[in-house]
Amino acid sequence: MEGLWLVVLVIFAMALSVESQLKTGFYSSSCPKAEAIVRSTVESYFKKDPTIAAGLLRLHFHDCFVQGCDGSRYLPSPLESIAVQKQKFADKGLDDHDLVTLVGGHTLGQTRCQFIRYRLYNFTATGNADPTINQSLLSQLRALCPNNGDGTIPVPLDKDSQTDFDTSFFKNVRDGNGVLESDQRLWDDAATRHVVKKYAGAIRGLLGLRFDVEFRQAFVKMSSIDVKTGTNGKIRKACSKFN
């Protein structure tokens, strides 16, 4: 049910008061049940296909970072260094804590063999694997993604609990089990490593970081990026592209 909680979060991130123009109940006059309708519809689809949680996260993340059709250069890439990732988030008003927390959304979802094969067989054109990959994970990934094999094979981003919204992703990064290079690079930088350690540790609540609470706050903060209201925005005919 953690995935369902995340779907609900995606919906309400657009309704919470993160800017003066955004508020719960905005449609109370024109469409009083708008938020309830959206929530119930998404919940019903989630029960049929839990993988939509990761898809909705990805869609919302991309919308917050990209404000034009040629937006790929603004999005964090799985090949980028931690310095580049930090700068891209900073350019959007997000700090290092937000970066680690939001990347933790990779506790759900998948990538594909074509995006990680270079780490398994020819990292930095050496003909060898990325030395930061845990050897056990390397064996698993090579079995799943043979060299010159099908690049479209899906690969879970969280090898331990890909359908649960939990902290296992951070434990994987700590142990060298990050699937994407950009995820594993969180361990290379002192500032981001500090946050990873807090999420991966045993202490929760008042003395430690609660990932579910911190993620909600970071997600709402991200949702306030370059918000368009009134005639400045458009209702998309297709959610995946601009009109």
pLDDT averaged over every residue in the chain: 80
Total domain count for the chain? 1
Q: At CA 118, angle to CA 171 and CA 81, rounded to 5?
A: 60
Asked if residue 134 has pLDDT above 70, the reply is yes
Residue indicated by tokens 């994970």: 137
Q: Which two tokens stand for residue 208?
A: 């430690």
Q: DSSP readout, 151-201?
A: TT-EEESSSS-TTS-SSHHHHHHHTT--SSHHHHGGGTSHHHHHHHHHHHS
Q: Is 133 helix (H, G, I), strand (E, B) or coil?
A: coil
> Would 134 be classed as within a structural domain?
no
In angstroms, how far apart are the furthest CA atoms of the chain?
63
Model confidence at 223, pLDDT cuts 50, 70, 90, reads confident
Whether 118 maps to a domain, the answer reads no
Binding residues for Ca(2+): 107, 158, 166
pLDDT per residue as tens digits for the range 35-73: 888 888 888 888 888 777 777 776 666 665 555 444 444
Residue 167 counted as domain residue: yes
Q: Is residue 90 included in any domain, yes or no? A: yes
Which element (helix H / strand E) includes 27?
Answer: none
- 238 within some domain: no
pLDDT (tens digit per residue) in 9-42 = 555 554 444 444 567 777 888 888 888 888 888 8
The predicted model scores a pTM of 0.77
Q: When comparing pLDDT for 62 and 111, which is higher?
A: 111
Q: To which H or E segment does residue 35 belong? A: helix 34-48
DSSP 89-118: HHHTT--HHHHHHHHGGGGS-EEEGGGTHH
Range 150-177 average pLDDT: 91
Domain CATH code at residue 45 = 1.10.420.10
Q: Give the whole-angstrom CA distance, residue 173 versus residue 171.
A: 5
pLDDT beyond 60 at 118? yes
pLDDT value of residue 95:
94
Compute the residue count for the chain.
Answer: 243
Residue 207 lies in a domain: yes
Instruction: With respect to residue 122, please indicate whether it lies within any of the assigned structural domains.
Output: no
Structural domain of residue 100, as residue ranges?
Answer: 2-109+157-232
- Is the pLDDT score of 240 beyond 90? no
CA–CA separation, 133 vs 145, rounded Å? 15
The confidence band for 224, taking pLDDT boundaries of 50, 70 and 90, is: confident
| More confident position, 223 or 33 | 33
pLDDT digits (tens, 9 = 90+) for 140-150: 999 999 999 99
d(CA 10, CA 44): 15
What local confidence, expressed as pLDDT, does residue 17 receive? 41
Residue 11's SS3 state is helix
Confidence class of residue 203 from pLDDT cuts 50, 70 and 90? low
Task: List active site positions.
Answer: 62
User: What pLDDT shows up at residue 69?
Assistant: 40
Q: Both tokens of residue 243?
A: 């009109």
